[in-house]
Amino acid sequence: MPAGLRGAADLSNLGRPAAPAQPAAAGAGFGAPAAPAAPVAPAASDAVQVSSLVLVATDATVGEIAELSSRVPVALLIWSPRSPESDAMRARLGQLVEAFSGRLVLATVDGDANPQLVGAFQAQTVPTVAGLIGGRPVPMFEGDLPDDQVQSVFAQLIELAGQNGVVGIAQATGAPVEPEPEPLTPQQQRAFDAIEAGDYPTAVEAYSEALELNPRDELSRAGLSQVRLLERLSHGTLDDIRRAAAEGPTDVSAQLAVADLDISGGHIQDAFVRLLDLFPAASAEDRGLLRQRLVEYFDVVGAEDPRVRAARRALSDLLF
């Protein structure tokens, strides 16, 4: 059993317990890897309607996830937006779960925002992955694993669930997972108005105020990164920027400027590679600038873009 899951709480009282054939099996952990299970067409009685095969679990909704695990096994990922590795794994696991055609569901937990769940599983690191069968935790693994090993672990979770009478097949209804967008805050509206007027410094100020009031405001975080890019691009000419970059291949300031041009022109991979290649030989101060600019680009491009996921992993490897 991984150290981070020792003493994990029994969540079965939060959901409807299954009727296990071998009650002691859930929570026993895994032994030798098994081959990924082949998809099975759901019987009418086995179908479990869910909004999506990838759900978001919180301290407030864990009871619903525990109840769901009495009908279909749940893989639960504890991640953190501060960890590029765990954020990348969130997208990877979602794709791997889809391949099992509803035989299990993934629930993701933002560990920073949900301390009760982190405490319940005694997760000591991110990413941490556990299973839920009938509301009971099943130790799985910590850290990153190759896709084939993750598939084997998921297959074992499905097999263990079947031994405990949890044999449902999840069917996604296609209903939106995320809530409807909330109305703009006064700061966000001021930023939008400033952008339309070409007043980028005011937009930066407005988005910064919004983030001071709510550090988890992802709309304002992405907007701030985008408007900073627009503001930087408003200075200098394309020819001057590219000439400076060509004359100073190790000049971090010049390379940051031309990377802005790459991003604005849709050359996303070129910008990522340019800055990541500079990282190993850069000074500590320049590394901070490169990291900050890459994080801004991740916000601009979008966390689900595969190029962003790959660049996050590369940045994490360079940092740690």
Cβ neighbourhood burial of 185 (10 Å; 0-12, 13-18, 19+)? middle
Sorting pLDDT into bands at 50, 70 and 90, what band is 181? low
- Is residue 16 domain-shared with residue 151, that is, in the same domain? yes
Kindly report the pTM of this predicted structure: 0.47
Residue pLDDT, tens place only, 228-282: 988 888 887 888 888 888 999 999 999 999 999 888 878 899 999 999 999 999 9
- List the domain range (segments joined by +) for residue 299: 236-320
What pLDDT is recorded for position 24? 33
Range from 1-15, 68-82, 167-181 that averages highest in pLDDT: 68-82
- Is residue 231 domain-shared with residue 243, that is, in the same domain? no
Q: Quote the CA–CA distance of 68 and 161 in Å, as a whole number.
A: 12
- Is residue 218 domain-shared with residue 245, that is, in the same domain? no
List 132's β-bridge partners, or say none: 74, 137
The angle that helices 200-213 and 186-196 make with each other, rounded to 10 degrees, is 170
- Is residue 133 domain-shared with residue 165, that is, in the same domain? yes
CATH of the domain at 214: 1.25.40
Residue pLDDT, tens place only, 210-222: 999 999 888 898 8
Q: Quote the CA–CA distance of 69 and 58 in Å, as a whole number.
A: 15
- Is residue 43 domain-shared with residue 144, that is, in the same domain? yes
- Is residue 220 domain-shared with residue 292, that is, in the same domain? no
- Is residue 192 domain-shared with residue 300, that is, in the same domain? no
What pLDDT is recorded for position 302? 83
What pLDDT is recorded for position 12? 39
Task: Please count the structural domains in the chain.
Answer: 3
Among 172, 191, 222, where does a domain finish? 172
- Is residue 146 domain-shared with residue 68, that is, in the same domain? yes
First-to-last alpha carbon distance for the chain, in angstroms, is 25
Sorting pLDDT into bands at 50, 70 and 90, what band is 290? very high
What pLDDT is recorded for position 122? 76
Res 29 pLDDT > 90: no
What pLDDT is recorded for position 1? 28
- Is residue 229 domain-shared with residue 163, that is, in the same domain? no
Residue pLDDT, tens place only, 46-87: 788 998 999 999 988 888 999 999 999 999 999 988 888 888
Task: Enter the tokens of residue 91.
Answer: 């997208």
- Is residue 65 domain-shared with residue 198, that is, in the same domain? no
Amino acid 86 reads S
Res 201 pLDDT > 90: yes
CATH of the domain at 124: 3.40.30.10
Average pLDDT, the chain: 81
- Is residue 9 domain-shared with residue 110, that is, in the same domain? yes
Q: H or E stretch including 192? A: helix 186-196
